[in-house]
Homo-oligomer: A and B are copies of this chain.
Amino acid sequence: MTARKENSTYTLNEKFITDCDLTYAANKIGGRWKIVILDKLGTRKLRFSELKKEFPYISERMLTLQLRALEQDELVKRTVYAEVPPRVEYELTPIALEFLPIFCQLSAWGRKNKMLKNNRS
């Protein structure tokens, strides 16, 4: 959300990349956290504090940032319950659900190729 030079190569490259369907999708789930968060939410709704427990070392800041970004991209729906102490639940939207089979395949690739790598070292 910081200001950015309009015509830096950085920005031109970014545009080029998000024009492509493939990398448009990839960017939605890029970075260190988004995929795991979506994956966790794939099994069930979770509150902020429950999510935090899933990732032992994530900072609250990071978790909030990622959730906000996912919300912005309409991959996650946020529901606030006006209680004290507050309760907030996060769940996947329909378009995020479509990612789940892809995650499965990625996961299968990972499982397989981690094994191959281990058997050689």
- For this chain, the copies found in one complex come to 2
Flag if B22 contacts A110 (CB, 8 Å).
Answer: yes
In chain A, positions 97-121 with a C-beta closer than 8 Å to chain B are 98-99, 101-103, 105-111, 113-114, 116
User: Considering only CB atoms, which chain B residue lies closest to A62 in the complex?
Assistant: B13
Q: Which residues of B contact A21 (CB under 8 A)?
A: 107-108, 110-111, 114
A110 surroundings in chain B (CB, below 8 A): 20-26
The reply to whether the CB of A88 lies closer than 8 angstroms to some CB of chain B is: no
Dominant secondary structure at the A interface: helix
Is A46 in contact with chain B by the CB < 8 A criterion?
Answer: no
Pairs A-B, 5 closest by C-beta atoms: A21-B110, A25-B110, A24-B110, A22-B107, A21-B111
